[in-house]
Amino acid sequence: MSELKNVGFDSKCVHAGIKDYEFGPVVTPIYQTSTFKFKSVDHGAALFKGEEDGYIYTRMKNPTVEAMEQAIAGLENGYKGLGCGSGMAAIHTVFQTLLNSGDHVICSKAVYGPTATLLTTVFSRFGVKTTFVNTSDLEQIKNAINENTKLIYVETPGNPTLEITDIEEVAKIAHKHNLVFAVDNTFMSPALQRPLDLGADIVVHSLTKFLNGHADVVAGIIVVKNEEMYSKMRKVLNQNGGVIDPFNAFLVHRGLKTLSLRMERHSRNAEKIAKFLEEHPAVEWVVFPGLESHPQYEIAKKQHKDCGGMISFELKGGIEAGKKVMNSVKLCQLAVSLGGVESLIQHPASMTHASMGKEQREAAGITDGLVRLSVGIENVDDLIADLKQALEN
Ligand code: LCS
């Protein structure tokens, strides 16, 4: 990676993580093997003791996985990455590593539904308490800190309200109180936001989304800043077994090459669509980080390189009108997930955030009428025409 230090982000996307391999391939081969041969018993023992570097068993380390981990760690300006079997596996590993019984977490109210549910239904059973706050309001974070608080966990922009948290300011609060600060950077990707540069300690991603970008992989990653945190996380991931497999790591690494280009196109398309929706008479409200009407527009301008591809909106006719639009789109696909080259539309209250329950959803600002659109890289006029016919049919 050292030779990539002085190149631009676009060049890093193309070259990051690629090493010299046998036969000179220009991309990392798929090392589709569960295990690796030792030269001798002493060699195997030395690898297990950590006295020699090398590969033992794919749950522990695999060259294809390692290449992808190094690439994303490089893009996030982190120390090392840990590839996981899903975004949820990554988030789970972060919580498992950092939290003990009796500990307290402060978490954004607007997070992917299962992240909140993991804290309220699984970690709660092991004595971990969580306070969900609106993390875009720094006072709410400060007021929630108690003597057992260990972690501040922020998703920004939050799923699906697109609420934006000031990472630099939360990092100051966290470090003043000796707390670990983790950010879910799934909605922006390192092309548009780099939380570690802004003071966060840990970044997690659902690689399923923009980083892979092609809706054909479920995977996640944790990126950390130093060896101490890395070895703690690696031990836990090795025990819980939630690792990514080599083929998916290869696909993610391939997706990264076009990350910069894709994020640019997602942002331009979404900007035009958000403006179209904002001006459409059937639309009650639109939330999009690139619109001046976004409540945290100034923070977005400060910490995002561009506005991203996610839009949330509600129609004047509420959920019934929203359902009609979601059932009528032709080019946009009615499906959960996000961040792929194809535009996807979905209904958080009955889909991605159903597990949260109505009360917690409402507290997080996720109304029943909210429709979420992940804008793809199609021709923007085609997307607008599709939304127009769905809104007006
Ligand atoms: N973090 C965020 C911000 C997410 O949006 C998701 C998934 C995850 C973590 C979990 O990642 P996974 O385990 O699925 O790789 N979000 C989804 C969504 O909004 N629709 O379907 C999945």
Average pLDDT over residues 108-113: 95
Q: Report the pLDDT value the prediction gives residue 1, as an integer from 0 to 100.
A: 44
Q: Give the Å distance between the CA of 43 and the centre of ligand 1.
A: 41
Residue 5 banded pLDDT, cuts 50, 70, 90 = confident
Task: State the pLDDT at residue 107.
Answer: 98
In a shared domain, residues 298 and 358 = yes
Quick check: bond before 29 cis, omega within 30?
no
Rounded-to-integer distance, Cα 242 and Cα 247, Å:
15
Q: Which three-class secondary structure string do you get for the chain?
A: CHHHCCCCHHHHHHHCCCCCCCCCCCCCCCCCCCECCCCCHHHHHHHHHCCCCCCCECCCCCHHHHHHHHHHHHHCCCCEEEEECCHHHHHHHHHHHHCCCCCEEEEECCCCHHHHHHHHHHHHHHCCEEEEECCCCHHHHHHHCCCCEEEEEEECCCCCCCCCCCHHHHHHHHHHCCCEEEEECCCCCCCCCCCCCCCCCEEEEECCCCCCCCCCCCCEEEEECCHHHHHHHHHHHHHHCCECCHHHHHHHHHHHCCHHHHHHHHHHHHHHHHHHHHHCCCEEEEECCCCCCCCCHHHHHHHCCCCCCEEEEEECCHHHHHHHHHHHCCCCEECCCCCCCCCEEECCCCCCCHHHCHHHHHHCCCCCCCEEEECCCCCHHHHHHHHHHHHHC
The predicted pLDDT at position 367 comes to: 94
188 and 326 share one domain: no
pLDDT tens digit sequence for 352-388: 999 999 999 999 999 999 999 999 999 999 999 999 9
To test ligand 1's pocket by mutation, which of 159, 207, 355 has the most ligand atoms within 8 angstroms of CB?
159
Please work out whether the CB of residue 291 comes within 6 Å of at least one atom of ligand 1: no
- Mark whether 251 and 266 lie in a shared domain: no
Closest ligand 1 atom to Cα of 89: 13
75 and 39 in a single domain? The answer is: yes
Look at residues 212, 233, 256 and tell me which one is the last residue of a structural domain: 256
User: Looking at the structure, do residues 299 and 333 belong to the same domain, yes or no?
Assistant: yes
Ligand 1 centre from 44 Cα, in Å? 38
Same domain, 234 and 352: no
Cβ of 215 less than 6 Å from ligand 1: no
| pLDDT (0 to 100) of residue 363 | 93
Residues 99/122, Cβ–Cβ less than 8 Å: no
User: What digits encode the pLDDT tens for the residues 260-274?
Assistant: 999 999 999 999 999
Atom 20, ligand 1: residue with shortest CA distance: 337
Please indicate, yes or no, whether residues 41 and 132 belong to a single structural domain of this protein: yes
- Whether 155 is in the pocket of ligand 1, judged by its Cβ within 6 Å, is yes
Do 157 and 195 reside in the same domain of the chain? yes
The domain tally of the chain equals 2
Cross-strand pairs, 153: 107, 182
Ligand 1 pocket residue status of 374, Cβ below 6 Å: no
Question: For a pLDDT cut of 90, what percent of the chain falls above it?
Answer: 98
Which of the listed residues 209, 235, 256 is the one where a domain comes to its end? 256
* 132 Cβ closer than 6 Å to some ligand 1 atom: no
Q: Are residues 175 and 76 in the same domain?
A: yes
How would residue 6 be classed by pLDDT, with cut points 50, 70 and 90? confident
* Domain harbouring 123, CATH code: 3.40.640.10
Each residue's pLDDT tens digit, 309-327: 999 999 999 999 999 999 9
Arithmetic mean of pLDDT, 95-116: 97
Residue 97 domain boundaries? 8-256
Q: How far is the centre of ligand 1, averaged over its atoms, from the C-alpha of 86 (Å)?
A: 8
Over the chain, what is the mean pLDDT? 97
Would you please indicate which residues are annotated as catalytic (active-site) residues? Answer: 59, 112, 184, 209
**Average pLDDT of span 180-204:** 98
Averaged pLDDT for residues 238-247? 98
363: left (phi over 0), alpha (psi -120 to 50) or beta: alpha
State if residue 86 touches ligand 1 by the CB under 6 angstroms criterion.
yes
State whether 237 and 375 are in the same domain. no
From the CA of 348, give the closest atom in ligand 1.
19
